[in-house]
Copies of this chain bind each other. A is one copy, B any other.
Amino acid sequence: MSGNSFGKLFTVTTFGESHGAALGCIIDGCPPGLELSEADMQRDLDRRKPGTSRHTTQRREADEVKILSGVFEGKTTGTPIGLIIENTDQRSKDYSKISEQFRPAHADYTYTHKYGVRDYRGGGRSSARETAMRVAAGAVARKFLEQRLGIKIRGYLSQLGPIKAEKLDWDQVHQNPFFCPDADKVPEMEAYMDALRKEGDSIGARINVVADGVPPGLGEPIFDRLDADLAHALMSINAVKGVEIGAGFDSVEQKGTEHRDEMTPEGFLSNNAGGVLGGISSGQPIVASIALKPTSSLRLPGRSIDVNGNPVEVITTGRHDPCVGIRATPIAEAMMAIVLMDHYLRHRGQNGDVEVSTPVLKQL
């Protein structure tokens, strides 16, 4: 299958450019009988939506999703779910410059080399605008996982540039525009972002995502390990440059006696594995962390070339997020939901009648 589909049994296929007529998505393989309405998706879409604070782009998109198929009398039917979001804020603009230049660190240069042509309006397909559809599709997966299996998927911003969250208070995550779980750090982040905006620069961020309540057994060794599919899903999000599971890069300096999560009848004693052993979920929380690079759309001039290879100086005007990481939390949650959903169905397909007498360990 081509590159715009994700998932083998719960398959999400998307289309749409930043400044095209609409974004859309087909979810194929959703189990029937799930209560579903636009409201289920809108909640997450609104969390991702730009323009909700001064720290994100002031572009305004209603991001109203419509269900076109696959739901009947309020429930999924098992047939493909067609979704659409019409683009409403396509400000007319002079694209003559951007069409001939390559913005540094953008996909302009690579799309041109791959396809020979590109839709240069607002980044076209390479714009993060496409992630709206990931969030909509993820909301369907999330609802199923929560209702049928009790799985809860939550994310937060753990670092904004140099500022690290030091406390994890889930109740705080939605009390500030950063998805920051540490209330004490919010004023510092506010000040940092205000300065950055004045400066015209941008900054990176780190997002953590956690899934609680995942049963043991999900993941398909050896290539479609749960962690490998998570890495695939998370790295496919715009601007992501790194993915960790559990202890991640800290494992490099850990000794075996420190890293190994010992087990007792009462539960696992630690979770360096991040909930995945041998590529299969262990019943512990699935813990992933991602690095997002700073936005490359800056009004500070940068050196580049034009389509003929001549040197140019590029200044990006327009409305851009100075920290794309800020709005990335719902996107990362969505991708984790899609991966877990897909693996739940795949596992049920092969192993739906397996009975195991070994007790499932609680998480300590």
Contacts and interface: CB of A to CB of B under 8 A. Distances in A.
A189 interface: no
A75 B124 CA distance: 14
- Most chain B CB within 10 A, of A33, A249, A281, A355, is at A249
Given A104-B261, A206-B249, A354 B256 contact: no
A109 B282 contact: yes
Size class of the contact patch on chain A: 35 or more
Closest 7 CB pairs of A and B: A107-B278, A3-B220, A349-B349, A202-B256, A105-B260, A232-B232, A3-B224
A263 interface: yes
A66 B21 contact: yes
A291 interface: yes
A359 B104 CA distance: 15
A125 B269 contact: no
A252 B28 contact: no
Given A22-B69, A220-B3, A257-B201, A244 B247 contact: no
Nearest to A161: B253
Nearest to A313: B262
A259 B296 contact: yes
A20 interface: yes
B254 A124 contact: no
Given A15-B79, A126-B278, A305-B361, 19 more contacts: A2-B9, A6-B223, A15-B68, A15-B82, A31-B350, A77-B115, A111-B280, A113-B216, A114-B219, A130-B222, A204-B251, A228-B233, A241-B251, A248-B291, A256-B294, A260-B296, A262-B304, A307-B358, A308-B359
A90 interface: no
A3 B116 contact: no
Contacts of A68: 15-16, 20-22, 24, 84
A110 B9 CA distance: 20
Contact of A3 (B28, B261, B352): B28
